[in-house]
Structure 1
Amino acid sequence: MRRLLVLTALAAALTAGAQQRIVRLWNNASAPHDNGLRGGERVEENRLFNTTEAVLYVYAADPARATGQAAVVCPGGGYRFLSIGGDGHAVGRWLAEHGVTAAVLKYRLPNGRCEVPLEDTEAALRYLRRTAPDFRADSAQVGIVGCSAGGHLAASAATMLPEEVRPAFAVLIYPVITAEPGKCHKGSFDHLLGTDRTAGDEAQWSLQNRVTASTPPALLLAADDDRSVPPVNSVLFYAALKRHGIPASLRIYPSGGHGGALDPAHIYRAQWRADILDWLAMLAHENQKPTSKPR
C-alpha cells in the first residue's frame, strides 16, 4: 500500500497543472509479449524501475496555440529505468504549452526482451493517431520524441514499425543509436538485448542500419561533451537519413552533457528548445502547403 501511495504521489506531482488523459494500454498479462518482470514498480529519485504496464499520459495542446501536431514522448533511462520526470512529463507539458499534443509513454522495460518497448510504442502511436481529432491534431501529423534510450526507442519506431503506423516525424534528443564498439552506450544494449546477444542482434538494433526511403523526417540534437552517449550516434543516424534522401536536421552544441532535455539553466539548452520549436513549425508549414494538381 505504501508503494502504491508513493507511485500515486509521484505521478500527481509530475503531472500537476496540466489537463491530461491517462490511458492504460496493456500490461504483461494482456500485451503480445511479457517482459518477465514481476512485482510492483519501484521509484528512486524520480526514476521508475520494474515497469510492467504500458500507460499513456496525454497532455492536450493549448487550444490557442495548437499546431495540428501530436507526438508520443519516450523517456530515457538506458532501458534500465524510466527518467519519467525530466525526459517525460516535463517534455510533454512543454510541448503542449507550445501547441503540440504530447502523450508521455510509460513503457515496459525490456529486461532483455527487445520487442516489448517497441510494441508498447506501436500501441501508443495507434492510440494517438486514432484519437488525434479529440486534441485538435491531425492524425497524419503524429510524430515521436525520445531522449537517450528513449531516442533509440523513438528511432526504432521510425525505422522498424509497419509503414501505416510509423510516426510522421522524429525528434531525437541525445539518442542512443548504435551498438558499435567505442560508439555505443553499452548499458542500453545490455538491457535491451541481454548480455548474451550476438553480433547479428547488435547490427539489427543499430538503427543507422535500418533507415530506408520510407523513414520519416528527423531532427537530432546532441552535445559535443556528452560522455554518456557519444554524439557520433546522432551523426551516424543523420548520415543514414541523408543517404536515403530523407529530410533531416542535426544540431550538435558545444556543451550540454547528457540528460535533462529541457533544463533552461544551461545556455545551449535554451537554444535546443528554440530549435525544436522552429523545426516543428517548419514541418507544420510544409504540411499546410496545398498539393499541386496535375493539369
Structure 2
Amino acid sequence: MKWLLPAILLATAHAQPGPAPKVINLWPATAPGSESWKQPETTVGNTGNRRIMNVSTPTLTAYLPDPSTATGTAVIIAPGGGFVWLSIDSEGHDVAQWLAARGIAGIVLKYRLLQVEGQEPAQVTQAATAALAAMMRQRSLVDDYSKFAMADGTQAVSVVRAHAAEWGISPDRVVLMGFSAGAILTSTVVLQSEARPNYAAPIYGGPFNEMPPIPQGLPPIFLAVAQDDAGAEPLVTRFHTALKAAGYKPELHVFSSGGHGFGMRKQGKSSDHWIDEFYYWLEAYGLTRPAK
C-alpha cells in the first residue's frame, strides 16, 4: 500500500487552488461614454454557469501562472452573450484557469454591455433576453449594442501590454480571444484597431454584418466553430475565406457538432477539444514555451 501515498500526495497537489487572480479596472476613471449609467451590475446563475448583465465598470481579471512554469504568453478572453450579458465562467474564468495551469496568463475581460432596465435579477434577465431577440431580428442593432465593448477590447490590449513587466508577460505575445459576441469584438479589434494583439482567436463568431476590408499586417488567426451552429458557422467560414483571399493563412477548425456556445462545457463531442487544438496552435508559434 506504500504506492498509494505518492499518488495521494500528487492528487492533493493538483487539487490545490492557484493564487488569487488580480483584478484591475480597465480604465483609470469612469469608462468614457458611460458616465451616466445607473443600472447596477447583476449576476444570475450558480458558479460555473453565471451570467453578468449591466456591466458599466469594465475590468480585467488576470490568472497568472506560477513563475516557474510561466511562458510569457497572455490570452485576453472576451466572453460571449450578445452584448447583453457575459457567459463569464464557461467562456471566461474556466478558460483562463485552464491556460494558467499550462503556464499561460489567462486574462478575463469583463466589458461593457447594453444597459437594460429592471430592479430584480429576473426582471433584468427578461429585459436582456428581449434585447438579444431584438438584435437577432435586426442585425444592424449590433453596432449600437457593441460600441462600448469594442472600445474596451482595444483598451484591454493596451492595458495588458502596460502591465507586461509586472505580470511576467512578453508584450509581443498577447493573444485576444473571444466567444460569440466576444468573437465579434475580437475580429473588430483585429481588423480596425491600431492596438492590435499579436495573435487572435475568434471562437464561433466573426464580422457580423458586411465583411469589412481585410487590411495589411494582421496577426495569425485561429478560428473554431461547430457545423451545427447555424448562426455562427457561416460567419466564421466567410471570415476564413476573406482572410485567405487577402493572402493570410488562418487556421480553421469546423467541428462536426457542438452547437453554439460550447465554451468549456463538456458534451461528449469533438468540440470539447477545441481548447486542445488552440493550445497546439499556440505551440506551433512557440507560445507554450518561454521566449529565448
In 1, are the aligned partners of 2:72 and 2:290 still within 8 Å (CA)?
no
Q: Which residue of 1 aligns with 2:219?
A: 216
Matches within 5 A, 1:69-108: 69-108=73-112
1:20 is displaced (CA, Å) by 1.4
Residue 119 (structure 1) shift: 1.3
2:291, 2:64 → 1: CA distance? Answer: 25
Partner of 1:293: none
Contact in 2 for aligned 1:67/1:99 (Cα 8 Å): yes
Which stretches in structure 2 are left out of the alignment for 5+ residues? Answer: 1-16, 116-143
Please tell me the root mean square deviation across aligned C-alpha atoms, in Å.
2.5
Q: Secondary structure at the match of 1:139?
A: coil
Report matched runs for 1:152-171 at 5 Å: 152-162=184-194, 165-171=195-201
Q: Distance in 2 between matches of 1:36 and 1:235?
A: 39
Q: CA deviation at 1:286?
A: 11
TM-score after normalising by structure 1: 0.75
> 1:96: how far off?
1.2
Q: Is the 8 A contact 2:73 2:288 kept in 1?
A: no
Distance of 2:291 and 2:165 partners within structure 1: 20
**Alpha-carbon separation, structure 2, partners of 1:176 and 1:36:** 30
1:44, distance to aligned residue in structure 2 (A): 2.0
Residue in structure 1 matched with residue 23 of structure 2 by the alignment:
22
Question: Structure 1 residues 22 and 262, CA, compared in 2 at 3 Å: closer, same or farther?
Answer: same
Give the count of matched residue pairs.
Answer: 244
Structure 1 176/246 Cα, relative in aligned 2: closer, same or farther at 3 Å? closer
State which structure, 1 or 2, has the greater radius of gyration over its C-alpha atoms: 2
1:58 aligns with 2:62: yes
1:1-295 matches, within 5 Å, as 17-26=18-27, 30-34=30-34, 37-45=37-45, 46-110=50-114, 112=144, 114-162=146-194, 165-179=195-209, 203=210, 208-227=211-230, 229-284=231-286
- 157 and 110 in structure 1: CA distance in 2 versus 1, 3 angstrom threshold: farther
Post-superposition offset of 1:24: 1.1
Instruction: Specify whether residues 262 and 35 from structure 1 end up closer, same or farther in structure 2 by C-alpha distance, changes over 3 A only.
Output: farther
Deviation at 1:224, TM superposition (A): 0.4
Could you tell me the percent identity over the aligned residues?
A: 30
Check whether the contact 2:103–2:288 (CA below 8 A) recurs between aligned residues.
no
